[in-house]
Structure 1
Amino acid sequence: MKTLALAAFTGALLMAGTAVQAQDDLSAIKAAGVLKIGTEGTYAPYSFHDKSGKLQGFDVDIGRAVAEKLGVKAEFVEGRWDGLIAGVDAKRYDAVINQVGITQERQAKFDFSKPYIDSKAVLVVRSDNDTIKSFADLKGRKSAQSLTSNFSKLASSHGAEIVPTDGFNQSLELVLSGRAEATLNDNLSYLDFKKQKPDAKVKVAATATEGDPSGILVRKNQPELVAALNKALDEIKADGTYKTIAVRYFGEDISQ
């Protein structure tokens, strides 16, 4: 009987600990006065360094605005995309804001805020490539992609052979050099690249018909943190902060 009672008491403590853990992240963030955000730092126009070396970008500014609404400061921790999401579980930071697509696979392991941006995948090839005209044409072709990205999975679903890269810039370099025949990424990143390098010999061969919503990724079972992030996103849209950030990087309001 004592053993059963002890087991029941221990189980109750574990359940209580789980319930407290669901609130721990938000409480800890506010106590520390800092929201630690994982980001890539090499993915223009979302997260990159300007000529002076300062970290900036659409996602960076969204992170700063959201942190301000939470009443804390944003602190960014940079890392390569393929290990970025794992850094949340390792508790190197509290959230990832880096165009993380909201997928069922990720939702099984992590929590997300509501979507804060929705972009479409584009298929990018060299300007002189006339053989790849659709996503279906990727079958048997080399596509340069970050291995764990949504775009890598999309390319694989069309039968592409994946050439691993560290990010979009390296993927484009491989396409331009001929070491890969294509790369998939989002339309806004491609437009920013062409704005920065209008003479680059690449083109969009195809555009996805449906968008890919991205959200702020956090550890699993964080309902209060997710609610606070959603409230912050609603507030920056309502007070015009989101529009200002969007116009700064994309030239128009993309909140709709």
Structure 2
Amino acid sequence: MIEFKRAALIGGCLSLALALVSACSPGSAEDGQTHLAQIESKGVIRVGIGISPPYSLKDAPGNLTGFDPELLALLAADLGVKVEYVESSYTTIIAGLQAGKYDMVSSLQARPERQSAVDFVKPYTQNGAVFLVPQSRNDLNTLADFDKSNVVLACLQGGAQCLTAKRSVPNAKRREVASAGSGVPELVSEVVSGRSTALMVENVIVRAILQRYPEFKAVPDDGVGVDPVGVGWSVQKGGDPSLRNRLDEFITKRSEDGTIQKLIDKWFTPEHSL
């Protein structure tokens, strides 16, 4: 009898814990409302965002700006709500979404490791990884040249380039560098100081980096990069699909009417990339 009561108590506690987790989830229903209906009812959509020029950056007064904030402003207007930004590092941004701290996350590369943790919306750009090395390194010209144990790659902690390095050049060592900004100066310093052999960045900012640091070269220098994947917004995995469906519709509409291409042309420039 005691064991039965103990089992019942444990079962009850587990049920309560699961109920509490469900209640904290932004995708859970409140009074029968879908997640999208909750957002519209509250008049606010909470967005987890990190600093990643040109997708998101800060202007001189410290306000968020860039491709994502401008596109999100259009989304908010479509939904009839306001955007509430929750700033995060890329090390913890997915965990914050899973914990219900926000309704969605701004631009992320849809790497397999991330696809297993969140649901991605239709992508609007593609990013690949590029190695930047000093022009003097004539021995580093192909992907195979970097896949060696004596190569040390500097990449942003929590960033997609570290994931690409782990998968594409598994024999190379990685130095994951923390940064509250774009991270480019810190990554460049890694190579200049000799702590790292090369730095890894997204293809979309290579042109800007090479203009500022002409002593470096890009590998590959094809404008695409290694292992290119789609970039897009994301929501909690599984559960109520109402928000993801609405975001897919919005991205499709803004792709077809040319809005997204106009934003790419505006923001994906050297002056907005570092």
Instruction: Provide TM-score, normalisation by structure 2.
Output: 0.75
CA distance in 2 between counterparts of 1:125 and 1:50 reads 29
Q: Are 2:49 and 2:93, in contact at CA under 8 Å, matched by a contact in 1?
A: yes
Match of 2:48 among 38, 52, 62: 38
Alignment map for 1:37-186 (pairs within 5 Å): 37-41=47-51, 43-98=52-107, 100-138=108-146, 139-140=148-149, 141-157=151-167, 158=169, 159-167=171-179, 168-169=183-184, 170-186=186-202
CA distance in 2 between counterparts of 1:134 and 1:94 reads 41
Instruction: Answer yes or no: is 1:236 the counterpart of 2:254.
Output: yes
Structure 1's 106 and 250: CA in aligned 2 closer, same or farther, altered over 3 A?
Answer: closer
Displacement, 1:187? 0.9
Unmatched 5+ residue regions in structure 2? 1-10, 270-274
Structure 1's 227 and 154: CA in aligned 2 closer, same or farther, altered over 3 A?
Answer: same
CA distance in 2 between counterparts of 1:173 and 1:45 reads 21
Q: Are 1:123 and 1:182, in contact at CA under 8 Å, matched by a contact in 2?
A: yes
CA distance in 1 between counterparts of 2:190 and 2:73 reads 33
Percent of pairs with identical residues: 28
Which stretches of structure 1, 4 residues or longer, exceed 3 Å deviation after superposition?
192-195, 207-210
Q: Give the 3-state SS of the residue equivalent to 2:197 in structure 1.
A: coil
Displacement, 1:116? 1.4
CA offsets 1:100-158 (integer angstroms, 9 cap, x no match): 12233322321111111112221111233222212222222111113433321221231
The aligned residue for residue 226 of structure 1 is: 244
The aligned residue for residue 215 of structure 2 is: 201
Displacement, 1:191? 2.2
Structure 1's 70 and 223: CA in aligned 2 closer, same or farther, altered over 3 A?
Answer: same
Amino acid at match of 2:237: K
CA distance in 1 between counterparts of 2:231 and 2:97 reads 16
Displacement, 1:219? 0.6
Displacement, 1:189? 1.9
Instruction: Provide TM-score, normalisation by structure 1.
Output: 0.80
Structure 1's 142 and 88: CA in aligned 2 closer, same or farther, altered over 3 A?
Answer: same
Displacement, 1:163? 0.4
Displacement, 1:75? 2.1
The count of aligned residue pairs is 234
The aligned residue for residue 4 of structure 1 is: none
Structure 1's 176 and 36: CA in aligned 2 closer, same or farther, altered over 3 A?
Answer: farther
Q: Are 1:66 and 1:236, in contact at CA under 8 Å, matched by a contact in 2?
A: no
